[in-house]
Chain A
Amino acid sequence: DTAVSQTPKYLVTQMGNDKSIKCEQNLGHDTMYWYKQDSKKFLKIMFSYNNKELIINETVPNRFSPKSPDKAHLNLHINSLELGDSAVYFCASSPLAKGTDTQYFGPGTRLTVL
């Protein structure tokens, strides 16, 4: 009955590879997000989708491509992985896309690029 789940929890891969991270929420929320947390714990928003439509797209390399097949899922595909992509990636969801919304976070996916 996990509210926001992510798979995999850990991902270790070589530079240059392509990988995907999946996120699912069972809260019935309209909006989903991807955040990147670096080694210093700094959290930064990457993308946000509302009802499968991209509404926030921060300054993220084109190698990162989010996809939302439906309201409950938001996946993140990363091409040509680089060392600097190593981080913890968090998915989150919120009821709507309002500034007052509480965001509910998944447990994170720790990506290590060797």
Chain B
Amino acid sequence: AQSVTQLGSHVSVSEGALVLLRCNYSSSVPPYLFWYVQYPNQGLQLLLKYTSAATLVKGINGFEAEFKKSETSFHLTKPSAHMSDAAEYFCAVSPTGTASKLTFGTGTRLQVTL
């Protein structure tokens, strides 16, 4: 079965600092990978996704992620954090088939301080 592991349930950065949220996947074949963001009291919104095209994926709000097969990782980065980035971030995996079945990681809460 496919799964993702998010290291760090809580990450705190200063405004303007680099954001790095870690996600490692477990799958016998390279899966499809997603990052979703959840702002307080809201639903989830897609940031970006890897679907076996380019390994460096750019998303919304200045975020990007790189698929590294050798490290089974799909870490999310942003060069400069903004206060509005404070939210819960979820990495998710979906099988490479005809079913869209997201399996989510446990989430990482990003706190941005002045």
Contact surface of A with B, Cβ cutoff 8 Å: 4, 31, 40-45, 48, 55-56, 90, 92, 94, 96-108
Q: Are B104 and A56 in contact (CB under 8 A)?
A: no
Q: Are A45 and B32 in contact (CB under 8 A)?
A: no
In this assembly, does B49 line the interface, its C-beta being within 8 Å of a C-beta of chain A? yes
* Residue on A nearest B93 in the bound complex, by CB: A99
Contact surface of B with A, Cβ cutoff 8 Å: 31-32, 34, 36, 38, 41-46, 49, 51, 88, 90, 94-104, 106-107
Partner of B88, one of A41, A55, A103: A41
Residue contacts A-B, CB under 8 angstroms, 28 given: A4-B43, A31-B100, A40-B106, A42-B104, A43-B44, A43-B104, A48-B100, A48-B101, A56-B99, A56-B101, A90-B43, A90-B44, A92-B43, A97-B99, A99-B31, A99-B96, A99-B99, A99-B100, A99-B101, A100-B51, A100-B94, A103-B44, A103-B46, A103-B100, A105-B43, A105-B45, A106-B43, A107-B41
